[in-house]
Amino acid sequence: MWLRALCLRPLAVARHGGFGQEWLLAVTASLQHHAVPLALTATVVALLTQLAASHQAPALLTLFRALLLLLVVRLLGRSVLAPFPPAEPFSGLAPDIEQSLARRLRLLTLVLVFGYLLFTTARQLGLPAQPYLLARALFVALLAINLYRLLRLRARLADNPAIAAGRALAVAVLALVVGAELLGYRHLSSYLLRGVVGTLVVVPLFWLVRRLLLDTLGRVGRGELSPLHRRLRLPADEGLPGLVWLHLLAGLLLWPGLALVLLRVWLSPTGFANALEHLRQGIGLGGLVFLPVRGLLGLGVLAVLMLATRWLCTWLESFLGGREQLDPGARAASITLTGYAGVILAATAAASTMGFSLTQVTVLFGALSVGIGFGLQNIVNNFVSGLILLFERPIQAGDWIKVGDTEGYVRRLSVRSTQIENLDREQIIIPNSDLLTKPVINRTLASRGQVSVVVGLPYGTEPARAEAILREAAATVPAIEPDSVEVQLKGLGAQALQFELRCRPREEQRRQAAEA
C-alpha cells in the first residue's frame, strides 16, 4: 500500500504540462500498476544473487532476471505508448497505430527474453549442440520477423525518403542475419543482430532523452524556472537570454554521446578502445591534426562563457537600471563593453582549449589583416568608431541627435552601429563611422535644448499685451518648462509683427509637442 501511495503522490502535480511532465505522469501511472510485482521480483533476484554466489539455484536466478527485465521493459513501454489512466497519450500517434506499436513491442520483448533464457541456460547447463542450434535458429527467425513487422509499422508513421532508405537497409541487414544463421556463419549473424537490436534500443532512448532535455530548455525559455529568473532579476514572464547557447551545449552533449554509444554497440570492446585512441590522437588533414575531443571541448567552453556573458549583461542591465544617479549613457556603455569583453574572453578561451598556440593565432590575424585590407575596411572603421563613441561618450542612449537629414532619439549604441528612433517611431540604423565623420547635433549633451517659434501678429496689436498672452499660453503647455519661456519682438514683417517665443521642453522627445 505504501508503494502505491508513493506512486500516487506526483499524479496531482504533473498535469497539463509539457512533454516532460506528461511523461512523468505516464511513468508514475505505469509504476503504480507495476510497483508490487517489480518490488517482489527485485527482492527475489537479490536473494537468489546471494545464493548464486555459493553456486546454488543459478537457473532460478536466470528465470527471475528475465521476469524482472520483462517488467521493466513493459513499464517503460506503457509510459510512452498507451499509458495507464489518468495519464493521456502524448506521443502524437493515431490510437490504432499506437496500440499496434505497443503490441509489437510486447511481442519483441518476449522474443528477447526467450533469447536471454536460451543463451544463459545453454551456457550454464551445457545443452547439446543440435538442440541448441535449432533453438538459436528459431530465435533468430522470430526476432527477424518481429523486427521486420516493426519496421513495416514504422513505415506508416512518416513518408520520408531518408527514413525509407534506412528502413530498406535495415530489412537487408535482417535478411543477411537470417541467411548467415542458416548457412552457419553464426559469428556474423550474432554481430549483425547485436548491432541491429542495440541500435533499436539506443535510438528510442536517445529520442526520449532529447525530448526531455528540449522540453526543459523550453520551460527555461518561457520563464518557468523562477529561481534562475530571480537571480538574474528578470520578470517572471520574460524568457531567459542566451537560450541558443544552452541548445548548443545540449547538442554537444547529446549527438557525440549518441555516436559513442552506437560505436560501442557495433564494435567489440577492443575495437571501441582503438577507436577512442584514434580520436584522442587526432585525425590528420594534410599537415594539420584535428583533435575532435578538443574541438568539442572548445565549443563547450565557448558556449558556457558566452552564456555566462549574456547572463552577466542581463543582470547588469537590471542592477544598473535601478541606480538613478548613474547616467543612462554610462549604463549602456558599461553593459556593451562588458558584453564585448566577454565575447573576446570566450573566443580566446575556446581557441586555447582547441589547442591553438599564440603563433597560430598571430598567423590567423595576419590573414585577417589581408582580408581587411581588401574588403573589410568599413566594418573595422565602424568597429573602431563604436569603441571611440563608447569610451568618449559624446552620444549616449537617450540623447536627441541630428545627423544629416536624420533626427531622433538614440535607442541603442553598439560597436558597429547606432539605432535611432524618429518622431514617426521609425528605427533608423546609422553606421558609427558616420557619427565621427559627419557633423552631429546633440541637443541633449549638456541640456534638453531649446525650442524657438516665430509667431506673426497683425499690426495694431499691443506688443506688451501680445508678449504676456504668448508667455501665458506657452506656460500652460505640459511639454514646456514654465520658467524657460521668453518672448521678444524680433521685427516688422510685410503684413505682421514678428514675435519669437523661446522655451525649453521637459523631454527632448516631446520637442514636437512643444513646438506645436
Q: Which of 395, 85, 81 is nearest to 208 (CA)?
A: 81
In angstroms, rounded to a whole number, what is the distance separating the alpha carbons of residues 39 and 337?
59
Q: Name the residue with higher pLDDT: 403 or 513.
A: 403
pLDDT band at 438, cuts 50/70/90?
Answer: confident
pLDDT by residue (tens digit) across 488-507? 777 777 777 888 877 777 65
Q: pLDDT of 228-276, one tens digit each?
A: 666 666 666 666 777 788 888 888 889 999 999 999 999 888 888 888 8
The three three-digit cell numbers of residue 309, written as one number:
556573458
Q: For residue 424, give every residue at least 6 positions away whose Cβ sits within 8 Å of its Cβ, in sequence order, or none.
A: none
Which position has the higher pLDDT, 307 or 20?
Answer: 307
The candidate with the shortest Cα–Cα distance to 396, out of 442, 342, 461, is 442
In whole angstroms, give the CA distance from residue 7 to residue 390: 59
Q: Which residue has the higher pLDDT, 461 or 45?
A: 45
Angle subtended by helix axes 19-52 and 58-80, to nearest 10? 180
* Nearest alpha carbon to residue 144 among 118, 181, 183: 181
Q: Which pLDDT does position 1 carry in this prediction?
A: 44
What average pLDDT does the chain have? 77
What pLDDT digit, counting tens, does each position of 131-170 carry? 888 888 888 888 888 888 887 776 666 566 767 777 788 8
**Which residue type occupies 514?**
A
pLDDT value of position 13: 46
Count other Cβ atoms within 10 Å, centred on residue 263.
Answer: 14
**Residue appearing with cell numbers 519682438:** 489
> Residue 514: pLDDT band by 50, 70, 90 thresholds?
very low
Distance CA(19)–CA(372), nearest Å, equals 49
Lowest mean pLDDT, pick from 121-135, 162-176, 224-238, 375-389:
224-238
Strands of the sheet with 417-421, listed across from one edge: 427-431, 417-421, 406-413, 400-403, 440-442
Q: Concatenated DSSP letters for 187-217?
A: HHHHHHHHHHHHHHHHHHHHHHHHHHHHHHH
Q: In the predicted model, what is the mean pLDDT of residues 36-48?
A: 87
Banded pLDDT at 106 (limits 50, 70, 90): confident
Lowest mean pLDDT among 34-48, 171-185, 445-459: 445-459
| CB of 89 closer than 8 Å to CB of 72 | no
Q: Is 54 helix (H, G, I), strand (E, B) or coil?
A: coil
Of the two residues 368 and 67, the one the predictor is more confident about is 67
Task: Return the HEC string of 248-292.
Answer: HHHHHHHHHHHHHHHHHHHCCHHHHHHHHHHHHHCEEECCEEECH
> What does the DSSP 8-state code read for residue 416?
S
Which grid cell sits at 229?
529568473
Q: Is the peptide bond before 86 cis (omega within 30 degrees of 0)?
A: yes
Instruction: State percent of the chain over pLDDT 70.
Output: 78
pLDDT bin (cut points 50, 70, 90) of residue 361 is: low
Q: What's at 13, amino acid-wise?
A: V
Q: What is the pLDDT of residue 260?
A: 92
Q: For residues 379 and 392, what is the distance between their CA atoms, to the nearest angstrom?
A: 20
pLDDT at residue 12 is higher than 60: no
Region of poorest pLDDT, from 59-68, 360-369, 476-485: 360-369
Q: Where is 328: in which H helix or E strand?
A: helix 328-354
DSSP β-bridge partners for residue 457: 497
- Count of other CB atoms within 10 angstroms of residue 152: 12
Pick 370 or 35 by higher pLDDT. 35
Q: Tell me, what's the pLDDT at 262?
A: 92
Find, among 226, 225, 254, 244, the residue nearest to 307 by Cα. Answer: 244
Whether the Cβ atoms of residue 305 and residue 349 lie closer than 8 Å to each other? yes
Which tops the pLDDT comparison, 195 or 55? Answer: 195
Helix extents (H) in 53-89: 58-80
pTM of the model: 0.65
Reported as a pLDDT band with limits 50, 70 and 90, residue 3 is very low
Distance CA 406, CA 418 (A): 12
Do 430 and 420 meet the contact criterion of CB atoms below 8 Å apart?
A: yes
**Cα distance from N-terminal residue to C-terminal residue, the chain:** 79
pLDDT value at position 14?
46
**pLDDT value at 15 more than 70:** no
* Helices 328-354/377-392 angle, 10° precision: 130
The pLDDT of residue 10? 47
**Span 59-80, mean pLDDT?**
83
Percent of the chain past pLDDT 90, that is, above it, reads 2
